[in-house]
Chain A
Amino acid sequence: QVQLQQSGAELAKPGSSVKISCKASGYTFTSYYISWIKQTTGQGLEYIGYINTGSGGTNYNEKFKGKATLTVDKSSSTAFMQLSSLTPDDSAVYYCALTGFWGPGTMVTVSS
């Protein structure tokens, strides 16, 4: 069955970067785009963007351009999202997702 396995929780300092992984299994990795979504208590669900897992092409929400960088490693069926120049506002749960299936989420906490 389809599985999206995400990396563990991150505690990061303001100004630093983190890279979250999303390892897919149970389907042909390059058949579906992978999206990334941010969830906070205050802002709810925010769409960050998606990556074409076949070509590596990306499409970002303007709000997250410069903040998030999406990449993919086809050899390991893994998608990655790097978040840079972290601030406390980046503290959230981040999900990778297919249209019909979401990963378990990765909690990122930004604190000095």
Chain B
Amino acid sequence: DIVMTQAPLSVSVTPGESASISCRSSKSLLHSNGITYVYWYLQKPGKSPQLLIYRMSNLASGVPDRFSGSGSETDFTLKISRVEAEDVGIYYCGQLLENPYTFGAGTKLELK
């Protein structure tokens, strides 16, 4: 199975500042079709995960453009600019390249 490794496990951010979360895959997530199948989700307290970024760098519908995704074949970054109170929760990366799809352990974002 593809292992997804996130860092850090938790991050504390001052509102208005930016935050970055890293995710590394044990195998390239670049498909021969040119698409990189890494996804980012946010699970707010008491809620189900919601999609933020799909296919490495595409913003999901309704997601503020303060969120952005980037990366290479195995190293990926989620950046949140101007962190707001509503951004608190656990962020997960996931790979949807091959079965079984797998997820990172999560990064908990808190406000200072």
Residue of B39, B54, B99 with most partner-chain A CB within 10 A:
B99
Say whether A62 contacts B100, CB under 8 Å. Answer: yes
A59:B99 contact, CB within 8 angstroms = yes
Closest beta carbon of chain A to B38's beta carbon, Å: 13
In contact, B49 and A102 (Cβ under 8 angstroms): yes
| Segment from B27-35, B64-72, B80-88, B102-110 that makes contact with A | B102-110
B51 within 8 A of A: yes
A29 within 8 Å of B (CB atoms) = no
CB nearest neighbor in B for A102: B48
Q: Which residue of B lies closest to A104 (CB)?
A: B48
Residues of chain A at the chain B interface (Cβ within 8 Å): 35, 44-47, 49, 59, 61-63, 95, 99-105
Chain A contact residues: over half helix, strand or loop, or mixed?
strand
Question: For B106, what are the chain A residues with a Cβ–Cβ distance below 8 Å?
Answer: 44-45
The answer to whether B92 has its CB under 8 Å from any CB of chain A is yes
Question: Do the beta carbons of A102 and B50 come within 8 Å of each other?
Answer: yes
Task: Report chain B residues within 8 Å CB of A105.
Answer: 48
Asked if residues B48 and A100 are in contact (CB atoms below 8 Å), the reply is no
Interface of B is mostly: loop
CB-defined contacts of B39 to chain A, threshold 8 Å: 99
- Write the chain B residue with the least CB distance to A100: B51
CA of A47 to CA of B103, assembled, Å = 8
Chain B contacts for A49, CB-based, 8 A = 99-100
B contact residues, total (Cβ < 8 Å): 20
- Do B51 and A61 touch (CB < 8 A)? no
Query: Can you list 25 A-B pairs, Cβ within 8 angstroms, ordered by A?
Result: A35-B101, A44-B92, A44-B104, A44-B105, A45-B94, A45-B103, A46-B100, A46-B103, A47-B102, A47-B103, A49-B100, A59-B99, A61-B100, A63-B100, A95-B48, A99-B39, A99-B54, A100-B51, A100-B60, A101-B50, A101-B51, A102-B49, A103-B48, A104-B47, A105-B48
Assess A44 versus B103: contact at CB under 8 Å? Given A100-B60, A102-B48, A104-B48.
yes
CA distance A103 to B50 in the complex (A): 10
Having A44-B92, A49-B100, one finds 12 other A-B pairs with CB under 8 Å, namely A35-B101, A44-B106, A46-B103, A47-B102, A59-B99, A61-B100, A99-B39, A100-B60, A100-B61, A101-B51, A102-B48, A104-B48
